[in-house]
Amino acid sequence: GGEDGSVVLGRGGAEVPVAELTDGEGPLAGFDTGAADAVRRTDTFPHVADVMVNSMYDPATGTVHAFEEQIGS
């Protein structure tokens, strides 16, 4: 995290401090239990990315849309 700590951005400009994330609410709505802990854990890594992007998740099918096909080499 930065000086003010890491945040998760969501729809409509929502900005939630990582420490205040709640499973199933805000930017994590639709994600299973444990999503907030996973984000907090990743944020503790010594070489965590400055910007991490999570893809769309469809809870009805369990599908997570991948970025690989959209990224050129």
Q: Could you list the residue range(s) of the whole structural domain that residue 33 is in?
A: 7-70
Q: State the total domains in the chain.
A: 1
pTM of the model: 0.73
Q: Is residue 53 part of a domain?
A: yes
In 3D, which of 72, 7, 10 has the Cα closest to residue 43? Answer: 7
In a domain, 27, yes or no: yes
Helix, strand, or coil (residue 28): helix
2 burial class (0-12, 13-18, 19+ CB within 10 angstroms)?
Answer: exposed
**Tens-of-pLDDT digits for all 73 residues of the chain?**
456 789 999 888 889 999 999 998 989 887 889 999 999 999 999 999 888 888 877 878 888 888 777 666 5
Q: Is residue 1 part of a domain?
A: no
What is the reported pLDDT for 1? 47
What distance lies between CA 30 and its chain's CA centroid?
12
